[in-house]
Amino acid sequence: MVLRAVITFVCFFLTACAAQIDSPLPSGTQASTDIPKADERLWNEARLLQFHQQWQGTPYRLGGLTKKGLDCSGLVYVAYQDLVGPSLPRTVQGQTHLGTRINKRDLQSGDLVFFKTTGSGRHVGVYLSGHRFLHVSTKKGVMISSMDNVYWKPRYWFASRL
């Protein structure tokens, strides 16, 4: 019984920002018009870095949306709501359908970057210049990581521009 509980916990932990999602649309394809285009004056690197300073170190918490804890899609949701206004979908799965798919070489600050972390696990963050992205780590909380990191580089899936 204890072994079963441990296995269940480990599976839950490994798929924390998980969602079953079909393949992304090809680069340059418009995925959804459910939200207005991000206002570049509001959704820019300087404001994203200010947001990071306010939330840095906030712990990971599945389903969370407060400074007590939040998950990866929650971070994107809260950042967009705080900086731009309208709400985005709350889940990674919902966020994969937003914006226009872009090529990795065309990334700009504010683009959403998606990663495949496990078999069905998915992770989302917000791209910053210099191959960095803002996200929530299960171990270190809200932070900025390099997309060239040995963990993240092979797990990159796709990006979209709001």
52 is catalytic: no
70 CB neighbour count, 10 Å cutoff = 25
| CA distances, 130 to each of 52, 60, 124 (Å) | 16, 24, 17
Beta-bridge partner residues of 70: 60, 65
Active-site pick, 11, 52, 131, 135? 135
72 is catalytic: yes
Active-site pick, 11, 52, 72, 97? 72
**Closest Cα partner for 131 from 159, 94, 92?**
159
Active site residues: 72, 123, 135
